[in-house]
């Protein structure tokens, strides 16, 4: 496959390895910087970077206290991006997220006070504790890159990344995310507990000053926007494009599935594979990127039939079935 892509790199005006060289070098710096704070989560950081370079958003579904906030904050500091946190609660109103017009007595006019959504990196903590009405306040910003408040339409800052978290254990007082909301997230990831050695390293690293307080930026917003442009030049062989389409189509035909992945999932998987290949230093996508990213990009977009759930089947099991059944292009 690599031999067939060399001419493709020349047609874009890039030297072979040029795109991937630039992206992988910057991505390696960002990853190393985040890992100064976040211990033993290199794979999670890599997935997060792939989402950033794809212009997508992330849903982190895991138990409290494993570093979800630390991931978002250290990424924002590494990219020299503005960071805001939204603590979702049942009484949170949409205007608490988007902002509100208020009457300025000095000027005698209504002015707009921006909400926390108008930042480059936004953490929506415990998003499933917010009501559906409040959750929907995020939809336009995530899908269209703009925010509408009354008659005012505001473009979102670029780059824009929303990292939302939810606790899968506590169900009391929560509002499950609807399919339309889940479909806006490019990836759903789980961080998991650290092992014994990693947890010991955390104690040693945080014994004294907080490393997050001393974290210095290694990239900036304009550099990330340029990298987003570059990863779109990563070559995807038509055979692999067809393989992605077959995977997504198969989610809609699987016997255990009530609702399969959307066309947005196909486009997101495609972009994310381009970004991951560039992060790994290649100018072309291989089957490994597709097999790696498909569970993270597709499983949260699939609704499994109730009968299948009673048998212990999950959306992750469905994606694993399809990856094992559909022939991988060589």
What is the tens place of the pLDDT at every residue in 85-97? 999 999 999 999 9
> Phi, psi at residue 118, to the nearest 5°?
-85, 60
Query: Residue 13: what pLDDT?
Result: 38
> Phi, psi at residue 296, to the nearest 5°?
-80, -30
CATH of 29-232, one of 3.40.50.300, 1.10.3720.10, 2.30.30.40, 3.90.1170.40: 3.40.50.300
Q: Which of 86, 61, 303, 316 is nearest to 170 (CA)?
A: 61
- Residue pointed to by tokens 């910003």: 141
Cβ neighbour number for residue 229 with a 10 Å cutoff: 11
Distance (Å, whole) CA 162 – CA 138: 9
Mean pLDDT of the chain: 87
- Residue pointed to by tokens 């498909």: 294
Query: Is residue 10 predicted with pLDDT exceeding 80?
Result: no
Query: Residue 192: what pLDDT?
Result: 84
Instruction: Tokens for 266, please give them.
Output: 């196909």
pTM of the predicted structure, to 2 decimals: 0.86
* Length of the chain measured in residues: 330
The stretch 174-184 carries a mean pLDDT of 87
Give residue 34's Cα distance to chain centre.
Answer: 16
Distance (Å, whole) CA 43 – CA 172: 31
For β-strands 121-125 and 161-166, DSSP reports them as: parallel
Beta bridge partners of 86: 124
The model's pLDDT over 119-158, given as tens digits with 9 standing for 90+, comes to 999 999 999 899 988 888 898 899 888 998 888 889 999 8
Domain ranges in the chain are: 29-232, 234-330
Q: Thinking of the domain 234-330, which architecture would CATH place it in?
A: Orthogonal Bundle (1.10)
- Residue pointed to by tokens 């269209």: 144
Instruction: Tokens for 74, please give them.
Output: 């250290």
């Amino acid at each position: 496959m690599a031999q067939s892509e060399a001419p493709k790199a020349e047609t874009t005006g890039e030297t072979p390895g040029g795109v991937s060289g630039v992206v992988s070098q910057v991505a390696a710096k960002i990853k190393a910087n985040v890992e100064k704070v976040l211990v033993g989560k290199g794979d999670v950081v890599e997935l997060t970077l792939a989402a950033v370079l794809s212009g997508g958003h992330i849903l982190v579904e895991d138990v409290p206290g494993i570093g979800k906030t630390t991931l978002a904050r250290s990424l924002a500091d590494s990219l020299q991006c503005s960071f805001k946190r939204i603590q979702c609660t049942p009484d949170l109103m949409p205007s608490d997220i988007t902002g509100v017009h208020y009457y300025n007595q000095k000027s005698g006019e209504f002015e707009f006070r921006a909400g926390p959504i108008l930042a480059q990196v936004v953490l929506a903590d415990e998003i499933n504790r917010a009501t559906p009405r409040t959750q929907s306040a995020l939809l336009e910003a995530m899908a269209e890159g703009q925010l509408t408040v009354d008659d005012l339409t505001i473009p979102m800052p670029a780059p824009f990344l929303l990292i939302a978290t939810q606790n899968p254990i506590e169900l009391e007082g929560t509002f499950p995310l609807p399919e339309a909301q889940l479909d806006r997230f490019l990836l759903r990831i789980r961080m998991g507990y650290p092992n014994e050695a990693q947890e010991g390293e955390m104690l040693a690293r945080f014994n004294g000053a907080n490393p997050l307080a001393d974290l210095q930026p290694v990239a900036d917003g304009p550099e990330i926007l340029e990298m987003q442009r570059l990863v779109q030049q990563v070559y995807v062989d038509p055979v692999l494009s067809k393989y992605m389409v077959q995977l997504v189509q198969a989610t809609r035909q699987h016997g255990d599935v009530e609702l399969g992945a959307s066309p947005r999932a196909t486009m997101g998987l495609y972009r994310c594979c381009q970004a991951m290949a560039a992060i790994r230093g290649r100018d072309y996508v291989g089957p490994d990127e597709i097999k790696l990213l498909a569970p993270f990009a597709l499983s949260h977009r699939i609704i499994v039939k109730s009968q299948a759930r009673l048998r212990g089947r999950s959306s992750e099991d469905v994606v694993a079935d399809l990856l094992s059944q559909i022939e991988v292009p060589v």
